[in-house]
Structure 1
Amino acid sequence: MEGRMQGKVQQLSDSNRRIMEADAAPPRRVYQAWKGSNIFFLGGRLIFGPDVRSLIATVCLIVIPVIIFAAVVSPQLAHGYQNQIGGWVASVSIIFTAYILVLLLLTSGRDPGIVPRNSHPPEPEDIGESSNLSDWPGGQHGSAGLPLTKDVIVNGVLVKVKYCHTCMLYRPPRCSHCSICNNCVERFDHHCPWVGQCIGKRNYRFFLMFVSSATVLCIYVFTFCWVNIGKIMDTHECTFGRAILKSPISAILMLYTFVAVWFVGGLTSFHLYLISTNQTTYENFRYRYDRRSNPYNRGLVQNFIEILCSRIPSSRNNFRAKANEDFAAFASTLSMGRVLSPPKMSVDLEMGTKRQAVGAEDMEDLHSQIGSSMGLERCGTEPPHFVGRKGCSEIASDIETFAEEFGMDNKFTERKKTVRHTNDNP
């Protein structure tokens, strides 16, 4: 028996041998097996979008002007007023900039509210009676009868939630799938390229604080540059143009902050309007609640309390948890051309649940697929991935070893004998 097993193991292809070696390796973390497009740092402690490099430009646009302001304009103010005002002005600008960078990190480096994706589509009987079965033209991922939308009651108003084909789930209300990060995000507002992250339920507050603080910083720098120009005009009794020639850095910073404040200030004003009406950017541009009832609008005061003063929910993903590889992933890869289709997966990879044994229904599917694969041994119908009898024999040997591993060697041998008897007696 031992020699037989060794001979079958030697027949395994190189790809399947690598799969078996990977199965024996230490389990990976969730962030290492993440299906989205996110980029992780510090062992999964920080999660960014795929455009995280844009953060470098954002940080430079904030830090470089402040450094120039503290190094050039502040000493001129100290010299003009002959006191410590220059030191205080520089200190405040540096401390406030550090505070803004912390807000930027909290906005871009944390889970914005990602909904863990399912490992298999929901069963039709679990959807509920409120689903519109007539809206679904066909099955999705092998589950027939799933509707495109499902009705949910929100504050007494009927709201339709959509089925996400990628995450294989019905999105919660106000949830949308970000095509850049490839995740479903709760209370999705938008994907901001300047922070390199989606803006959602868990980081929207920090995003608003970031843009509003950046607005205040622009006004602060602009104001003291204007004060510096005015002091030069009084000291040297010159015109505004000559004062600019004496301190061109102040003029450049005034122009820069004047342009920037229209951007970050306008963004702050727009989001204050969204909060007052309890909308998201996505809803405002797509649904236009001003034309119909907004089920989430609870009044001006309650809207601000909900967005700015409510408790931020914990992340639904533990990125540093061990990701237990599902048996179906092994079977799917072992199939090499879908000789074996993966059984129904009852394990959510992102939730890190324990691996379960192969159920009776999965074993029945495996039995039927082994029977169909014996036809491939005759090379009557070969999958497009293989050409010639060599590919068929390799598949058959792999399936035989796989079947023996799960105690199916006897039935496999009987099927094999039956197929050979059929070939001998056409």
Structure 2
Amino acid sequence: MHMERRKFLSKTGKILGLSSTLSALLLQGCDMFPWSEDTDPLKGDGTDTGLDITNDIKDLKEAMFYKSLNENRVKCQVCFRECVIKPSERGFCRNRENKEGKLYNIVYGRPSAVQIDPVEKEPQHHFMPGSYIFCVGTAGCNYRCKYCHNYQLSQQSIDDLRYEKLLPEDLVEQALEQNVAAISFTYNEPTSLYEYMYDTAKLAQEHEIGVMFHSNGSMSTEPLKKLLKYVDSTTIDLKGFEDNFYQDISQAELSPVLDTLKTIVDAGVWLEIVNLMVTDLNDDPEVVKDMCTWIKEELGEDIPLHFTRFTPSYKMTDTSPTPVERLEKAREIAIDCGLRFVTIGNVPGHQYNSTYCPECHQSLIKRDHFSVHEINLEDGKCENCGLDIPGVWSI
């Protein structure tokens, strides 16, 4: 089901039209979904919009990376899976459909989640701290993570979700009106909506709006390099450092993620890495040490690393939350391996929610969960000792 753009914008007008009160609304976590907070996007609100989903070719966007095969089959080339898709069928991510021998992105301009968030929620700790970002997500994902916290979006097809009709120019228009630091593609895997993200990123750059995305890191190298020309910052999930963990938990592979991380660094685009530490599954100290050593040697000591706490979700509700002591131990290992900026997430109020100067050890950015209380940076330098702190401090 979708809601017409005019109706969506009128419903969100209470937020979009009141720039003088926007900051107060955002601090209360006010969202921009065109349905009430107590409505599940999978179920709808009981109102018949009279608008059914249509996947007519004229309403879709042809995929940018695919190869035509015999018998009208196509091979998608946007991610490591390289799905071979028969006519009238979709790939593993559910977002790319073969119609008459051509591959189409069926979620282009059809976000199911639109919200303004603090950049710290991405998480990004070295990108304009304390600013807000315009977050966009659709249906679908090329992973099957058992613990996904956004499974209502990522593990569904667009056919099963409510969505808005918002084209790239609409996203840019709203980002400009809200004076946000960036547009972020997040919530579900942005690789699966590639063309929507790419077109938005190009347009956003023309208007000097930042662009970022939060990804599982499985995009193929060619589309990634093409996209990175228009991207200011990335957050990549390095879910673990063992192939069997990736296969068992996500039905995925580790090596494409490592390739993605190196490609981003080589392109000179800002990168932050998230490791969601799952109790007894990816928290072995020796594996953590191997991961941190690889990051230091292959990517560099200045890549921020976020160790975040697992909480039960989706198909792993019987797994205990990560003991905080294991997160603290992981941070200690990372520092010992030579990484300079390591934080702990999903533990509100923890000392290492904050970023510290690796030289003088004074607080650079004091945080409590997603809230920034103090920034001790001057032109990208530590105010106390003058050390250059890498990051994106302005657009």
Smaller-chain TM-score range?
Answer: under 0.3
Q: TM-score, normalised by structure 1?
A: 0.21
So what's the TM-score if we normalise by structure 2?
0.22
Q: Which has the higher contact order (CA 8 A, sep 6+)?
A: 1
Q: Where is the strand percentage greater, Structure 1 or Structure 2?
A: 2
Give the number of the structure whose alpha-carbon radius of gyration is greater: 1
